[in-house]
Amino acid sequence: MILRDDDLRSLLEPFTFVVSRSVKVIQEYFQAVKALEDVGWLIYYSVPSQQIIEYRGDIVHLNIYLEQYYHSNWNTIFEGIKLRIPNYYRVDIEAEKIVYEVLSAHEAGHYRSIPRLLFPEIERLICYGVSSRKTLVKLFKGEIVSDSLFKNLFKYITFTQFMRHVYKSGTLDDFRENPVPNRQASIHELMSYSIHNSSMKMSILTDFIFQILLPLKNNNGNK
């Protein structure tokens, strides 16, 4: 059987649509990521990319939109994280309890306590303290190979942002310029991350990072 051009186009049309749609979604996703980086926010599952793109370049209104979005949608985000804890988190019971406490603290407005709880907990789980950065990279590389392209894109971008902001050494001026909580600034109390903005970003990062952490016994053979 010889396929004519028209037949071939008909056969390929559904695949062309899927590919073009996927490319469009990925392009929008990267545009949203860049817009969020411009105002010091992080990408998250639920935030509508198109809405973010519309505000790109308007730092004031994008910040207002994001603050309102996370305030008004907190219950949905909270419930989503609680559902992921038993289904996607592979950490121990102690760490799960810490996450619940963090979410409750955020809901109650106790923002400054959140990074001070979470950074030590991350380091307890991977048993490496100040060497956490290299260990997290290793865990991430092992995690990313098994997922779909879109999930990998989300994980890659989120992890890149995590390392760029959270485990980066810097000066006090560097930390002041970026509201994403920094491990060094938090642990050594150089900065007090006491606002909703910083607390929400730490909650986003925790939801991501706790999904790639392994149970304690798998991270250190001595445990």
Q: Give the pLDDT of residue 87.
A: 83
Neighbour-count burial of 149, counting CB atoms closer than 10 A to its CB (0-12 exposed, 13-18 middle, 19+ buried)? exposed
Q: Give the pLDDT of residue 106.
A: 92
More confident call, 68 vs 3: 68
- Please state, rounded to an integer, the average pLDDT across all residues of the chain: 75
- Hunting for tokens 């390929």 — which residue is that? 12
The Cα 108–Cα 190 span in angstroms is 24
* 161 pLDDT higher than 60: yes
* 68 pLDDT higher than 70: yes
**Cα dihedral 135/140/146/151 (nearest 10):** 170
Mean pLDDT over residues 64-83, rounded?
A: 90
**HEC per residue, the chain:** CCCCHHHHHHHHHHHHHHHHHHHHHHHHHHHHHHHHHHCCCCCCCCCCHHHHHHCCCCHHHHHHHHHHHHHHCHHHHHHHHHHHHHHHCCCCHHHHHHHHHHHHHHHHCCCCHHHHHHHHHHHHHHCCHHHHHHHHHHHHHHHHCCCCHHHHHHHHHHHHHHHHHCCCCCCHHHHHHCCCCCHHHHHCCCCCCCCHHHHHHHHHHHHHHHHHCCCHHHHCCCC
Task: Dump pLDDT digits (tens) for 92-129.
Answer: 888 889 999 999 999 999 999 999 998 888 888 776 54
More confident call, 4 vs 160: 160
Using alpha carbons only, give the angle 151, 133, 27 rounded to the nearest 5 degrees: 30
Q: Give the pLDDT of residue 144.
A: 47
